[in-house]
Amino acid sequence: MTALKNDRFLRALLKQPVDVTPIWMMRQAGRYLPEYRATRAKAGDFVSLMKNPELACEVTIQPLDRYPQLDAAILFSDILTIPDAMGQGLYFETGEGPRFKKVVSSLADIEALPVPDPEKDLGYVMDAVRTIRRELGGRVPLIGFSGSPWTLATYMVEGGSSKDFRKTKAMLYDHPQALHALLDKLAQSVTAYLNGQILAGAQAVQIFDSWGGALSAAAYQEFSLAYMKKIVDGLIREHDGRRVPVILFTKGGGLWLESLADTGAEALGLDWTCDIGSARARVGAKVALQGNMDPAVLYAKPAAIRAEVARILAAYGAGSGHVFNLGHGITPEVDPAHAGAFFEAVHELSAQYHQ
């Protein structure tokens, strides 16, 4: 494989010295970019775009061409590829988000689910990873990702997005053995899927636990964290002569950082409700931290964006182990110039913390 020209993202995840704080952004290939919207229109719809490796590569690289400050690319895909490959029938309803043609509601449904083979059943994702790695030519590292078992389970049981997760939580309390069977199958699937991405060329991986924060403390440990730990234990951690760092991101998980840091992951993603300085004091000797600006700050003027970047950098303080990011994905209505101001501010203002 081509040598990496910019490895500061991987170095920061391993808490090695860097010249400036590296930055990438969740959903950096997305609807806020006119070039993304043009490619998506060419593909016809989101699922067709995601399942076309050449077009997925095109939109993955678009933000890097526009913003030379970005220190990583993230595979363009969706967290719901695994349930789709299990036969749930993913589709997107305009204005409604993702939906599934089939829902999981019983132990019999769960036992009938296959564990997808990454190359056979999710080959379009592996092809996208290989295509992106080739086209990047070592510019920056490529991040692969998956949803967490708990988060994937909520979509499979609810049949789509949910505000209260009533069906999944009813299963959790009424039929915990059924939910554990589903989560175990999903953990096996995610492990195989992420290992497939690593073998295809992903140089770091992130597990998105988007809905872990909806659980009670006890339920989080048993039904979300335990399965993420299982995945971390099963991942390929060295490939192409380099460590492959793992980032765990539980939105709303600030209460449980110590437990997250004990999983063996290299880094924890933080949402914007968490103070990064406090988080570093709690777990920073064990893991790197990623985050954590409120995505809504990008609606403000560049001077305000810059001030918030300065505040977060100062809260983290000197030294490596910080990857700057938003506390969740960028939203479609953001002005692309504001994203550019954000990236410029991070590199410019962080240099003083890496003397």
Residue 78 annotated in ligand binding: yes
Annotated active-site residue 280? The verdict is: no
CB 232 within 8 A of CB 191: no
Q: Which whole number is the average pLDDT over 197-226?
A: 98
Q: What is the CATH number of domain 34-286?
A: 3.20.20.210
Indicate the helix (H) or strand (E) that contains 146. Answer: strand 142-147
**Cis peptide preceding 292, ω within 30 of 0:** yes
The dihedral built from the CA positions of residue 279, 283, 285 and 289, taken in this order, carries a sign that is negative
Tell me: pLDDT of 78 over 70.
yes
Q: Has 95 been labeled as part of a binding site?
A: no
Q: Kindly report the average pLDDT of the chain as a whole number.
A: 97
Q: Which long-range contacts (CB under 8 A, 24 or more apart) does 312-317 make?
A: 312/276, 313/21, 313/346, 313/349, 313/350, 313/353, 315/275, 315/276, 315/277, 316/21, 316/276, 316/277, 316/280, 316/289, 316/353, 317/277, 317/280, 317/353
pLDDT tens-place string over residues 65-75 = 999 999 999 99
Locate the domains of the chain by residue range. 34-286
What torsion, rounded to 10 degrees, do the Cα atoms 57, 63, 69, 72 define?
A: -40
Residue 93: how many other CB atoms lie within 10 Å: 10
Is position 32 annotated as part of the catalytic site? Answer: no
pLDDT of residue 93: 76
What share of the chain has pLDDT > 90, as a percent? 97
Please check if 175 is assigned to a binding site: no
Predicted local distance difference test score (pLDDT) of residue 156: 97
Mean pLDDT of all residues in 180-195: 98
| Residue 8, marked binder | no
Catalytic residue check, 31: yes
Task: Pick the catalytic residue from 71, 78, 127, 209.
Answer: 78
How far CA 3 is from CA of 204, 237, 240, 241, in Å, comes to 15, 19, 10, 11
Predicted local distance difference test score (pLDDT) of residue 1? 56
- The answer to whether residue 299 is catalytic is no
253 pLDDT above the threshold of 60: yes
Which of the following is catalytic: 31, 237, 243, 282? 31
The residue-averaged pLDDT of 197-215 equals 98
Is 155 annotated as a binding-site member? yes
- Which one from 40, 133, 280, 306 is the annotated catalytic residue? 40
Q: Quick check: is 11 catalytic?
A: no
pLDDT at 347 over 90: yes
